[in-house]
Amino acid sequence: MNSTWFRRFTPAAADGPRLICFPHAGGSATAYAPLERALPGDLDVVSVQYPGRQDRYRDAPYTALPALVEAVAGELARELAVRPGRPYAFFGHSMGALVAFETARLLARRELPGPQHLFLSGRAAPNARSSTRLQSYDDADVVAEVRKLGGTDQAMLANPELLEMVLPGLRADYRALSTYVWRAGEPLSAPVTALIGDSDPMVTVPEAQTWQEHTTGEFALKVFSGGHFYIGDHLGRVAGAITEGLLADAVAS
């Protein structure tokens, strides 16, 4: 896969189904390294590296979600042409859930093979109440919101040099989320698993249930103890939910 856009944290690609992971706002591909290590070794886990962070620091980040989705879908379309028929799935957390969902919708509109399963975490469906509260892009407001959610190393937020490196991506992602407009369309046919922390300040458990409206396939809701970034406390159980979903897909096919 294109090494600019995708990262793998294992020495070599596995032969099993591919799981493509989409980071949260301000996040990078390395956010999924712990989950990759918790998943079975026969899964080929790759994570999207958005522009404007880590080794892509000098690449201008996208400030509009449709443009980001278009870019990711284009890269995946090239990969699908190289490996036609290989099963794959999406996992997205928070903003990543929305990017994953819209990417799957775009691939479907282009009549390209879509993901066999979507695992959508820490976010309500896009037609539900918006979980992005910020309407200004003042750096102090963005940093305060990130502190409240607790997903970024707090020491990094207190370090001016490190903060200056992550702020461009954060600014861009929050602008993309705040300007996103939901447009109705055909539901997906792939199964969807929604995952949520029971004390998430951004989205409630009933709001996470709204993803069921966006698929004609099977739906499951997995609730974990914790807040918005519950995944770090439940790596084994989250990995188990992903594995369970993929095994069910294999049996169904």
What tokens does 216 get?
Answer: 């004609």
Q: Are 51 and 28 in contact (CB under 8 A)?
A: no
Q: Note every long-range contact of 203-206, with CB atoms under 8 Å and residues 24 or more positions apart, other chains counting.
A: 203/122, 203/123, 203/124, 203/131, 204/124
DSSP conformational letter for 190: S
Burial of 138 (0-12, 13-18, 19+ CB in 10 A): exposed
C-alpha 123, offset from chain centre: 10
HSE-CB for 170 with a 13 A CA cutoff: 22
Where do runs of H (alpha helix) occur along 30-110? 33-38, 65-82, 95-109
Cβ(121)–Cβ(207) under 8 Å? Answer: no
Give me the catalytic one of 47, 94, 121, 131: 94
Is residue 94 annotated as a catalytic residue, yes or no?
yes
User: Rounded to a whole number, what is the largest CA-CA distance in the chain?
Assistant: 51
Residues classed as catalytic: 94
